[in-house]
Structure 1
Amino acid sequence: MEIRGKSWMGSMLLGLLVVAFIAGEVEAWTGAVRGRVVCDVCGDSFIGPEDHALEGAEVAVLCLTKSGEVVNYQAFTNAKGAYTVAETMPESDRWDSCLVRPISSFDQHCTRRGDIRKGIKFNYDLPSGQSHTMKPFLYRPASVPTYCA
């Protein structure tokens, strides 16, 4: 099959090269925020052997992009108390700064915020593919067990 003096296959190849060239002009950037949520059983602000991961805890990640857009993410912790928020976007829209804050713990015994930080703000200046790791957010039980004293 001929299309204006060129074979169909040649035209298709030329079209794919043009698309690849245009797509190459916009570099993709990937960022990630990772962290943990822990039940600080003794309320001592240290993670020790008596403490445990909080599954299902909710964390909010709010980021401001280089282009000025505000993006809001919601994450829930897994069985190990870990959460991750990741995004791939054009380099021109990459995250500039982020605010990460715990929202709630669904553990029936460990629901009180254990640290005074309402959230942590940081500049996101990592290269593509790198992740920012947060310090763990802590929750405490309403009453501390007697073995903690």
Structure 2
Amino acid sequence: MMLAMITGRVVRAVVVVVMALLLCGASEAWTGEIRGRVVCDLCGDSSVGPEDHVLQGAEVAVLCITKSGEVFNYQAFTNSKGIYKVAETMPESDRWVSCLARPLSSFHEHCTRRGDAHSGIKFSYNLPSGHSHTVKPFLYKPAAAPMYCS
């Protein structure tokens, strides 16, 4: 009987230690996300208005540097709402510190010219795990603006 009580206590103690180790290990992981939109700026006025529409299938590159100096290069395509996302889970000690997002191409037949002057957006990434950074929209414009834009 005494041996059964001791064995039961040891088993409970081992379970507690194993659970503590699992929980501590999980808290060291870090997850980051970067998201943005790609829009067809029909009138070429460098702003998103009611006449503009999102671009599905546009390609975006995101380059991030970690605390340890490692470089990650991601490529993403926009969904039907014109939104792209990249995400990564890594050790907290290697998390992103700085990123650059830039549009690569639009496959829309009428809206393929880059509409904004900058080629990318650089930003610091100092958000806690589980949060996302939203990049301002990338704009493309048509070769010729519609008549109602004049």
Class of the TM-score when normalised by the shorter of the 2 chains: 0.7 to 0.9
Q: Which residue of 1 aligns with 2:14?
A: 14
Superposition CA RMSD, Å: 2.1
| Structure (1 or 2) with the greater strand fraction | 1
SS where residue 128 of structure 1 aligns? coil
Count residues in correspondence. Answer: 143
Q: Within 2, Cα distance between the matches of 1:15 and 1:66?
A: 35
Q: Which residue of 2 aligns with 1:139?
A: 140
Q: Which residue of 2 aligns with 1:90?
A: 91
What are structure 1's unaligned runs of at least 5 residues? 1-5
Q: Within 2, Cα distance between the matches of 1:59 and 1:20?
A: 41
SS where residue 112 of structure 2 aligns? strand
TM-score, normalising length: structure 1: 0.87
Q: CA deviation at 1:17?
A: 3.6
Q: Within 2, Cα distance between the matches of 1:86 and 1:119?
A: 18
Q: Within 2, Cα distance between the matches of 1:135 and 1:20?
A: 41
Q: Which residue of 1 aligns with 2:109?
A: 108
Superposition map of 1:42-61 within 5 A: 42-61=43-62
Q: Within 1, Cα distance between the matches of 2:81 and 2:94?
A: 32
1:125 aligns with 2:113: no
TM-score, normalising length: structure 2: 0.86
Q: Which amino acid aligns with 1:52?
A: H
What are structure 2's unaligned runs of at least 5 residues? 1-6
Q: Within 2, Cα distance between the matches of 1:16 and 1:111?
A: 59
Q: Which amino acid aligns with 1:24?
A: C
Q: CA deviation at 1:18?
A: 4.0
Q: CA deviation at 1:19?
A: 7.5
Q: Which amino acid aligns with 1:70?
A: V
Q: CA deviation at 1:46?
A: 1.3
Q: Within 1, Cα distance between the matches of 2:111 and 2:67?
A: 38
Structure 1 residues 20 and 45: alpha-carbon distance in aligned structure 2, compared to 1, 3 A threshold: same
| Structure (1 or 2) with the greater helix fraction | 2
Superposition map of 1:35-46 within 5 A: 35-46=36-47
